[in-house]
Structure formats: C-alpha cells, structure tokens
Amino acid sequence: MTFLKKLFISVTLILTTFHLFAQERLVADRVIANVGDKIILQSDVENQVIQLRAQGYQGKEDIKCDIFEELLVQKLLLIQAELDSIQIGVNQVDSELEARLNYFIRQIGSQEKLEEFYNKSMIEIKEDFRPLIREQILTQTMQRNLVIGVKVSPKEVEEFYKNLPEDSIPMVNTHYQINQIAVYPPEDEKARADAREKLLNIRERIINGERFSTLAVLYSEDPGSARRGGELGFRTSDELDPEFAKAAFRLTDDGGVSRIVESEYGFHIIQLISKQGNQVNVRHILITPKVDIEQKIKAKNRLDSIANLIKNDSLSFTSAALRFSEDEQSRLNDGLMVNPRNSSTKFDLEELPKAEYNVVKDLKIGEISDPFETVDDKGKTIFKIIKISEKIDAHKANFKDDYEMIEEIAIMQKKQRKFEEWLKERKKKTYIHIDDSFINCKFLENGWIKQ
C-alpha cells in the first residue's frame, strides 16, 4: 500500500469509526486477528469498506486487505502506547468526545434525534464511545511520538533530490510574490462594548450550568477551535497571546472559567482543562468586535487615496508601504507578503485566502489592485491594495527555487522510513495470528506471519 493511500485510509478510519456504532453489524462478529492481547473483528473491516465506498473511494478490489493492514498497525501502536505508559487525560478524551458528538448533532439536527438514531440516551452513547475515542487518541499520539524530532540536513535534502527519478520530481504550481499595503478600519467603542456584553451573557450561562464546550461550538468566532468545543490542546505560554497566557495559567481549578480577557484577537473567556508542567490545555470562546459600514468606507477611501498617489508616480509602492501600511510583518520589506504555511514569500494561487485569490487571479504583474476587504491572520477585518511583483510559472521542482518543498518531502520520507523500521521490529516481538480468510493479502508477506 502506498504512503498516500495509507494516509487516506487512516484518516478515514479515524473520522468514520465513531459513526459505525450507529449501524447494525453487517456480519456476525468473529475474530480475524490477534495482535498481542488485542483483537480485530471481521465486522470492523466490513463496516469500514462500506464507509469508504459511501465516501466515494474507488480503490481496487483489495481494499479489505488495505483496511485490515491499517487496523493491524493501529493495534501495534496501541500496545506500544501502553508499554510506554502514555497518559491520556480524561478531559482530553471528553473534549474530543464532545466535539464529535456536537458534529453529529449538527449533522442530524438535534440531540433528541441523535438519541433516537442510536436508540440510547446521551449518557449511554458517551459511555459506548469513550473507550474508542481514548484508543484513537493513544494511537495517534504514539505515532507522532515515534517520529518526533526527525530532521534533515541540507546535505540530506540535496542527496534526496539527486536520487529522485526524473518521473518522480514533483511539479510546482504557478507561484506569485505579492506586495501589499494594508489598513484597519478605525476602532469603534460601541462594537467593543457589544462584544464584551455578548461574552458576559455567554459566561453567565456557563456559570449557571450550561456546557462550555457546547457554547463554544455555537458562538466562538475562532473557527479552528470552535469545532473542538473551544479546546486548544496543550500549549506553553510562548505559544499564546501574552494576555491570554496570563489568564490561562492563572486558573487553578479544572473546569474553572476566567473573566473576560482581551487579546490581539478579540475578547475571550477561558476554561481550564488541565495543566502539565509548563503547559496548559484550555477551552476558549472568542468574540471579536464587529466593524460597521462607515468604518469600512473610511478605510477603503484612505487606500484609494494611497493607490492614486502610487499610480500617479507621486509615491513608490515601497515608500507607501513603509509610511501607511498597518501590517507590521510586511511594511518594512516593501510590503512583501509572507506565506504562513512555509514562511516563504511565494504563494500558490490556491494557498491564498478567498479575497486575495479573487484579486490576484485577474491582476497583471506590476498593476495596483483596487482596495478590497479581507481578514488578517487573527480574523480581524482589514482592507488592502496589492500588486504582483513576480510570477513564477509552473515547472518541475528544482533545488535552487523549491528547496523548502523538497525539504518537506525529504522529511516526510525520513519519518516514514523511521516508522517502518519501528514497525518491522515490533512485528517480530509481538504475538500475531491471522485468520485464514485473509491469508492471501499480499502485505502479510512483509513480516506479519512468522515462518
């Protein structure tokens, strides 16, 4: 099985296994593999096949073997996680459980409909799924731990590139270097007061007994964490906004809720999940002040004036960026935008936010765009004018221009190699029995059956 196919199937198993309990078993359960003290049932494989097909996977006929192999690997990871005494906190499991249940509640329409679908109360549903969630978190954590710290030197990257067959050198999409001048609409005190008032009401509901995670899903304006019930995962203070970090680390009781905290992202309330050494895991709900139409018009008109100065050669783009742009990261560097994915100054068109994408796709090199509205990396409304300073046409990756991309592929391959070495050794040391009904799967030749 190729690495990409493994990745697809692994992700699908994680996303869909949770839903399988809602279905009746398609076949009578019988054990098709023993891995140490763990078992795999035939119905586990059969149900996953149906889920993959339902999601449009058009793999070949040996898909059952691919799924079976992935399940065997997961059991080995689970055994290793137990041997390494990896601890998964109750709060971490509950938070993931809440996030998944909230997702299915949104899909099906209500908690009542979900209970009817499963023919169980919410308490019973949670009790059924909690061990599965814990096992999945353990195996994911174990797999990350096995390759943590893997790096490649520049020499290794160069060797990797030299040894790539010609037909394996990846194609690089057309890339752009983009300069910007960005300004924020003026702050409005009423909007700030409204945001605080909304958050105060949410906090009061939590104090009165409503679940923080449920309200985070419903109201938080941080899209990354809202779907997880507001959970951020373990972070050090350096990884958090300073004011947010102060409030988070000040909390002492699990489940304790902070007062309103203002950060550069907006206003938050924070709930402590747990602390471990210099790390803290919290949930939060973010509300950002809204920008009204008058403020937007002011920002747009200001940029219009700046663009006219540049177009009339009264001011260079570089000088205008330095004098007027409110994006501190780019203003000192001719307004050159930095790609947050890889810290380079090159953007694939598909990597751009929607607003920037719509402008860049029709812009000529050196042309100044009209002002347009978008959001910054903190989710705040911002207006920009941009120009394309360089366009690099699609080409086969080369070491000089595409080093970061080649380095990333080299690291991925090195991690895969390390994981496969671990897998090879772990198979030797673990009791594994495979049922005869799967004995013809080709992957079993790779050390799964001891001679």
Q: Domain coordinates of the chain in residue numbers?
A: 3-83+412-445, 175-187+292-395, 189-287
Q: Which of 202, 207, 204 is nearest to 217 (CA)?
A: 202
Q: Are 140 and 25 in contact (CB under 8 A)?
A: no
pLDDT at 317 over 90: yes
pLDDT at residue 54, rounded to an integer: 63
Mean pLDDT of all residues in 31-47: 91
- Find the angle CA(321)-CA(322)-CA(326) to the nearest 5 degrees: 70
Rounded CA gap, 42 and 64, in Å?
10
Residue 113's pLDDT band (cuts 50, 70, 90): confident
Q: Which of 395, 413, 344, 393 is nearest to 164 (CA)?
A: 413
User: Which of the two residues, 112 and 16, has the higher pLDDT score?
Assistant: 112
Residue 95's pLDDT band (cuts 50, 70, 90): confident
Q: Are 269 and 260 in contact (CB under 8 A)?
A: yes
Complete DSSP assignment for 29-40:
--EEEEETTEEE
Same fold, 175-187+292-395 and 189-287: yes
Burial class (CB in 10 A: 0-12, 13-18, 19+), 108: middle
CATH number for the 189-287 domain, one of 1.10.510.10, 3.40.50.1360, 3.10.180.10, 3.10.50.40? 3.10.50.40
Mean pLDDT of the chain: 87
Give me the CATH code for the 175-187+292-395 domain, please: 3.10.50.40
pLDDT at residue 22, rounded to an integer: 47
Q: Which two tokens stand for residue 235?
A: 């972070």
Mean pLDDT of all residues in 231-258: 90
Residue 235's pLDDT band (cuts 50, 70, 90): confident
Beta pairing, strands 235-236 & 31-35? unpaired
Residue 61's pLDDT band (cuts 50, 70, 90): low
pLDDT at 79 over 80: yes
Please give the model's pTM, rounded to 2 decimal places.
0.63
Q: Which of 347, 338, 303 is nearest to 321 (CA)?
A: 303
pLDDT at residue 98, rounded to an integer: 80
Rounded CA gap, 2 and 212, in Å?
42
Q: Which two tokens stand for residue 345?
A: 């100054």
pLDDT at residue 218, rounded to an integer: 93
pLDDT at 25 over 60: no
pLDDT at residue 310, rounded to an integer: 94
Residue 132's pLDDT band (cuts 50, 70, 90): confident
pLDDT at residue 3, rounded to an integer: 41
pLDDT at 59 over 70: no
Rounded CA gap, 253 and 244, in Å?
17
Q: Which two tokens stand for residue 424?
A: 């090879």
Q: Are 72 and 58 in contact (CB under 8 A)?
A: no
pLDDT at residue 451, rounded to an integer: 62
